Structure 1
């Protein structure tokens, strides 16, 4: 699907249009997270639009010929990719239409509208919204910005991996939240190409273990149902190419439930003043719940992939 050169090209293309996000130590905490290791947080919640999704959507936009945008752009999203696509529409000066499931965060819907996007709430999970978005593409000729089954989008997300290796060259484990798998695919591709010894661990919601179940049966399959309330991590079936990347380049997948992610988000807000959404707190939840084991002295990077008000309002 993608290689290191695609990610490097994406990094050059999006430079100046997205943010090189900081990395900070999770230290001096009231409740320590992982004893005997150095834990660093990659703050993608400080990315423009509030998540890593800006990287992929911006790379997609800048890869297109202007003439292709005549009928606008469209996507289906749990929220974060939709906001990134709305920003891309604003950058290009073309209409953006975002299809969302009914469990999308009201705060993210308001942010979409603030970017000037048209929002349509269809279905209870992402795959239902996606069907409606695909029909809209057929009707209007708008360009579809897929949140994970698009090599250009995944290459953009992979730039997070390049930055991690630059900022933390002796990292030993990277923790990545997963929905459809676009972020973990891009990050794992970059890291395994440049530092194959680094362990990449994906974190899925217990109510949407789409890639874990696929790996268990050895092929890309659809879940019978998706029960997580975390819209940004809800996906009934991923793309076959994403499955191949995860199978070959991701070392392990662990599960956390919605309540564990909420507790982790509250902890990030209380301990560090970081307003992460629940997917953004998934890596911290996996550590706090003991789902990932570390050797003494490891240097661990947890990607805080998205911002949100859940922990503050809760």
Structure 2
């Protein structure tokens, strides 16, 4: 079981290498004709992890995992499989620590992310149609070479690193009633929901997944890890075919509900965030706003609502 002290320790460990990202208060926005309107629109506070080093929150978990490795293990290098953002986070950790790195990507990774990773000058391999297949290749490479494998979500140190967002956010805006968090494999929501509930037990937590990759939605319905037969979403950073028992357990204990949004709804939300707020984000980072715009958070007053804007991108432009 991850304890509050684990998140505090992770924060101390990674803070020299991370940014304290700002919170952007936008009140109760007018989304325009035909979109969720009126008194039920919550008061919104955006945690801008799109401004984090490497472009997303993933840098936190990757750095915490890398710093928790024994030095002799770390010196052999880091390897992972990623939809893009975790790869950039692991590259950042490797650069800070001065060790080799190799990133495996599935072929459905958006081309701009592949180009960004390759431009960084590290060893990048495209393997498999989806993340799960790239992940098998990454683990095999770790076994063959002795490089340290860093899982993007099913690792307590990664989860503790991602959960440091909750510590920051609830210092910056202590009176939040609801947190809205995009869900892929579940590392972000596992960490943030667990830490937030320890600090503020009554806070409501809502996860948001793509309709084309309802991995945790289906797993929580059955209270077990469910492997989807296929995924079908352009939000590839939210699209593993399955999560893990660790994440399903933490999410089941700490998250009130998981809701689904379509790719078009995320795309519209990303466009609104660019036009109205000047925020350049990827589809996954617009998932939470899409859920608000479509009035999917649940019944009743959501109160002061924090949305984690998890990654930069140009999907709204």
TM-score norm. by structure 2 comes to 0.94
Listed one character per residue, the Cα deviations across residues 126-182 of structure 1 (whole Å, up to 9, x for unaligned) are 101101111111111110010001100100000011111111111000000000000
In 1, the alpha carbon distance for the partners of 2:132 and 2:248 equals: 16
**1:139 aligned residue:** 144
**2:20 aligned residue:** 20
Alpha-carbon deviation of 1:61? Answer: 1.6
In 1, the alpha carbon distance for the partners of 2:294 and 2:221 equals: 22
CA RMSD of aligned residues (A): 1.5
**2:79 aligned residue:** 74
Alpha-carbon deviation of 1:112? Answer: 1.6
User: Is 2:173 the partner of 1:188?
Assistant: no
| Runs of 5+ consecutive residues of structure 1 not aligned to the other structure | none
Alpha-carbon deviation of 1:92? Answer: 1.7
Q: 1:194 to 1:143 in 2, by over 3 A?
A: same
Larger CA deviation: 217-226 vs 282-291: 217-226
In 2, the alpha carbon distance for the partners of 1:159 and 1:39 equals: 20
- Give the paired residue count: 312
**Mapping of residues 218-229 of structure 1, within 5 Å:** 218-229=223-234
Whether the 8 Å contact between 1:205 and 1:255 is mirrored in structure 2 is: yes
* Runs of 4+ deviating beyond 6 Å: none
**1:119 aligned residue:** 124
Whether the 8 Å contact between 2:269 and 2:286 is mirrored in structure 1 is: yes
**Mapping of residues 171-210 of structure 1, within 5 Å:** 171-210=176-215
**1:243 aligned residue:** 248
**2:64 aligned residue:** 59
User: Is 2:174 the partner of 1:152?
Assistant: no
TM-score norm. by structure 1 comes to 0.95
Alpha-carbon deviation of 1:69? Answer: 2.2
Alpha-carbon deviation of 1:30? Answer: 5.4
Alpha-carbon deviation of 1:93? Answer: 1.7
Whether the 8 Å contact between 1:34 and 1:287 is mirrored in structure 2 is: no
**1:254 aligned residue:** 259
In 2, the alpha carbon distance for the partners of 1:61 and 1:302 equals: 27
**1:4 aligned residue:** 4
